[in-house]
Amino acid sequence: MAPGNTLRAQTPVTIPPLQRKRLTVLERKRILLADDHPEFLEEVRSLVDAQHDIAGAVADGKALAEAAQALDPDLIISDISMPGMTGFEAASKIRALGLKSKFIFVTVHSSPAYLKRARSLGEGYVLKLRAFDQLLPAISSVLAGGTFVSPEVEASRQS
């Protein structure tokens, strides 16, 4: 230290703890899967697992709502037509609980009514027939704060 310079004690600064804030871009996001077809669940798991952590996989809407509450995933990929409680009903319940998980619905339904309901509850809508081409781009878009709708659904809506 140069002559004449002195160190002054500073008042300690208290930094509030971060509340579930993600600190790095490299962190793998946690995804919860829901579909009543085990083969499809396994295929989605193998597609997504290389880039993200699979927090869990369930086969019905009731189990989805319970798992979402217990696991608080970053993203939920859910079928719409499931036994006990639909994906839409489960998403409504999850939203009512105040959970901030993002949703992508993967479904065989392409009607405007389903798309409208999905948009009111989530950020993504992917047709099962195109899931293996479109699911990874949908995940990237939704996790980055955007939305995704299968182009085939958008095209049929506009014709």
Q: Which domains does the chain have, with CATH numbers?
A: 36-158 (3.40.50.2300)
pLDDT at res. 26: 56
pLDDT at res. 22: 45
Q: Roughly what angle, to the nearest 10 degrees, separates helices 151-158 and 112-121?
A: 130
Closest by Cα among 138, 133, 153 to 78: 138
> What's the mean per-residue pLDDT of the chain?
86
Where helices occur in the chain by DSSP H, the ranges are 38-48, 61-71, 87-96, 112-121, 131-143, 151-158
- Reported as a single tens digit per residue, the pLDDT across 86-106 is 999 999 999 999 999 999 999
pTM, full prediction? 0.81
Give the integer Cα–Cα distance in Å for 49 and 13: 41
Q: 63 near 91, Cβ under 8 Å?
A: no
N residues, the chain = 159
Sheet holding 148-149, edge to edge: 53-58, 30-34, 75-78, 102-107, 124-127, 148-149
Mean pLDDT of 46-55: 94
- Reported as a single tens digit per residue, the pLDDT across 114-133 is 999 999 999 999 999 999 99
- Reported as a single tens digit per residue, the pLDDT across 10-43 is 444 444 444 444 444 457 899 999 999 999 999 9
